[in-house]
Amino acid sequence: MTKVACIGECMIELKQANGGLFSRGYGGDTLNTAVYLSRLGCGVDYITALGDDGLSDEMIAGWAAEGVGTTRVVRLRGKLPGLYLIETDASGERRFFHWRDSAAARSLMELPETDDILNSLAGYDVVYLSAITLSLYGEQGRARLFTALKAARSRGARFAFDTNFRARGWPDLDIARAVFEEAFEAADIVLASTEDLLPLYPGESHDALLARIPGGEVVLKLAEPASILRLDGVSHRTRAEPVKSPVVDTTAAGDSFAAAYVAARLAGADPLDAAQAGHRLAGVVVCHSGAIIPRAAMPPDMISTTSRKASP
């Protein structure tokens, strides 16, 4: 079975419920992608650090129930996971509030287990992480991770980078730009969006944003329901099908797009078809509240209906 390693952070999620109350779940961008990858038939491990508390136990059990591997999750005594709260407006747009500065996941690159975890990356077909992942670690931690990614790629693994950008996670935009450039140089697949890149590169055109990314396989999701794919220097535009149900929460739209895209590519789909799969799943996810939709709401035959024209 194809194996994907997703690296990042999962947090306790509080989302709006009726009567001014909040319901509790869990989520995090790369964890959301890992769950959707598993549901789409990919073997996937989640790589992170958690505490030794009951909420962390609950997360581990929930991931295992979704088929996400947890053998690379480090448990830290006395630590806790981070927490975030989602507010959504009438159009489904979300606003996040975070409590995560001392979360266990931030220690992942400085533990006794770190070398074993980083050496294991070469055993995966794809290593997937986001800009939020990179914002968790300091300069030395990111350097260790990039060195491991380069070593894994030399042994056949592919690195997929999602540009998911949250300004509050970075001490300085110049630091963020430098890290993005390093990730762009290292990645085999870049899953970008104008929403992520324009805060870093204000006013730039689609072509200018794409020119910043040297890789041969780049997806740039646009503000409208469409994306531009650049494949070996040639750009292609693809539009999403209209969303037929009301949009209630855009949380995890990009995470689910990434999962469907990567899963389709690993199944042998052409990148244009993979982008359509990404748009399709994201179009379903935004019609449900929270990061992870009910399993019964997953579109049927997401990957099997995708044409198989190209090797990943």
CB 104 within 8 A of CB 49: yes
255 flagged as catalytic: yes
And the tokens for 267?
């199944």
Catalytic pick among 249, 255, 270, 301:
255
Q: How many CB atoms lie within 10 A of CB 272?
A: 18
SS3 of residue 96 by DSSP: strand
What does DSSP assign to residue 280? H
List the structure tokens of 80.
């806790």
Asked whether 107 and 49 are in contact (CB, 8 A), the reply is yes
Q: Which residues pair with 86 in a beta bridge?
A: 15, 96
- 106's enclosing H/E stretch is none
* 257 vs 109: CA distance, rounded Å: 27
- Catalytic site positions: 255
